[in-house]
Amino acid sequence: MTFETFYQEMQEKLKNVVPEPEIFIKAEIAWEINKLKIEKNAVILGHNYMEAALFHSIPDHVGDSLGLSRIAAETDKDIIVFCGVRFMAETAKILNPKKTVLLPAKKAGCSLAESITAQDVRDLRERFPGVPVVTYVNTYADVKAESDICCTSANAKAVVESLNTDTVIFLPDEYLAGNVAKETGKHIIFPTRTKRANDSLLDVQLIGWHGRCEVHEQFTVKDIEDIRAQYPDVAILAHPECSPEVVAASDFASSTTAMIRYVEESNAPQYLLLTECAMGDNIAAANPDKNMLGLCRVRCPHMNEITLEDTLDSLQNMRYVIEIPEDIRIRAERAVQRMIEIG
């Protein structure tokens, strides 16, 4: 393919979501990245929250946390460039340790991953001995290493149900835990950071933590009521990191890839996504016939750190390399692998 054809394809796809002068600049950078990717035998994975020009130009695979983990585990390329946030790149390294995993930004954190430490998990285990620990993949490797099994938004219910226990510790997303509790019929408590005299498991089935996604916690039931007043037939899709009240008032809730599939396979007059802004643009670019309400106001600052410029720099200068101490990696791998086996 020539650069002209590549640029025209990007233009065609992005014309309604990216300003025209920007498309040319981004196409030039993406073209360089794609050449370098082949030279260096690299694969680029792009999370569904990447900005539209990046999402539609350089990834070999796009998807949600679960889908990209699976691909990372199976790739035979020498280098995995993860266009997503740090915990995702770490998961790739956990599953495929012989590969060089690059994250194109130094930090690219996540408010959920920052909300809990490995010591917090050890303390909870001591307070609730014998209770299995499920951690959301939006955590760092040392926290995963303290867990029995991981989950993503795509499989949280199945993972909790697979344990066949009355009580589960579910960390660290308070809202995802609330949504899973509703789906599984389990009820949830949030222990304080210190042990209390009346800690008891008698009526406790899902023990949560006070982590929240700084993006999804911003959506309210009032937002939904206002939109429905204006667009009575709108289909509203929420990510399960939104509060249980917001999820209950929406028409559908699941992982980012399941939300995309829902839009592609249904026929509502308009769609509103209660999730990271970029995803609406990505769907609009790929499905020009769908009416995506562009009322989104929340961009994840961590996902936003990943740019085309930084991805080029990442491949040119081999940075930032993800390293995980082997003892932590092996224990974290057990928890992630156990999740992948469930599906």
Q: Which of 138, 162, 307, 311 binds ligand 13P (CB under 6 A)?
A: 138
Which one of ligand 13P, ligand SF4, none interacts with residue 91, CB within 5 to 8 A by kind? none
Collapsed DSSP state (helix, strand, coil) of residue 100: strand
Site string for ligand 13P, 197-226 (x = CB under 6 A): ----------------x-------------
Looking at the chain, the number of H-run helices and the number of E-run strands are 16, 12
> Does the footprint of ligand 13P cover residue 239 (CB under 6 A)?
yes
Q: Residue 177 Cβ, how far from ligand SF4 at the closest point, in Å?
A: 14
Site string for ligand 13P, 39-78 (x = CB under 6 A): ---------x---------------xx-------------
User: Quick one: 135 exposed, middle or buried, by C-beta within 10 A (0-12, 13-18, 19+)?
Assistant: buried
User: Quick one: 106 exposed, middle or buried, by C-beta within 10 A (0-12, 13-18, 19+)?
Assistant: exposed
Collapsed DSSP state (helix, strand, coil) of residue 268: coil
207/128 Cα distance (integer angstroms): 9
Q: Residue 277 Cβ, how far from ligand SF4 at the closest point, in Å?
A: 10
Which one of ligand 13P, ligand SF4, none interacts with residue 214, CB within 5 to 8 A by kind? ligand SF4
List C-alpha distances in Å: 19 to 13, 22, 52, 141, 332: 12, 6, 11, 39, 42
- Backbone Cα Rg of the chain: 20
Q: Residue 154 Cβ, how far from ligand 13P at the closest point, in Å?
A: 6
| DSSP annotation of 312 | H
User: Which residue lies nearer to ligand SF4 by CB, 89 or 207?
Assistant: 89
| DSSP annotation of 109 | -
User: Which residue lies nearer to ligand 13P by CB, 177 or 315?
Assistant: 177
Which one of ligand SF4, ligand 13P, none interacts with residue 152, CB within 5 to 8 A by kind? ligand 13P
> Does the footprint of ligand 13P cover residue 153 (CB under 6 A)?
yes
User: Which residue lies nearer to ligand SF4 by CB, 65 or 162?
Assistant: 65
Collapsed DSSP state (helix, strand, coil) of residue 68: helix
Q: Residue 183 Cβ, how far from ligand SF4 at the closest point, in Å?
A: 19
Which one of ligand SF4, ligand 13P, none interacts with residue 302, CB within 5 to 8 A by kind? ligand SF4
Rounded-to-5 percentages of helix, strand, coil across the chain: 45, 15, 40
Give 82's contacts (C-beta < 8 A, 6+ positions apart): 45, 68, 72, 88, 89, 92, 101, 102, 103, 104, 322
> Does the footprint of ligand 13P cover residue 241 (CB under 6 A)?
yes
List C-alpha distances in Å: 234 to 82, 265, 293: 34, 15, 9
- In 3D space, the residue among 105, 147, 117 whose CA is nearest the CA of residue 322 turns out to be 105
Residues of this chain that bind ligand SF4 (CB under 6 A): 85, 110-112, 138, 213-215, 241, 276, 300, 302-303
Which one of ligand SF4, ligand 13P, none interacts with residue 153, CB within 5 to 8 A by kind? ligand 13P
Which one of ligand SF4, ligand 13P, none interacts with residue 111, CB within 5 to 8 A by kind? ligand SF4
Which one of ligand SF4, ligand 13P, none interacts with residue 243, CB within 5 to 8 A by kind? none
Interface residues with ligand 13P (CB under 6 A) are 48, 64-65, 138, 152-153, 213, 239, 241, 255-256
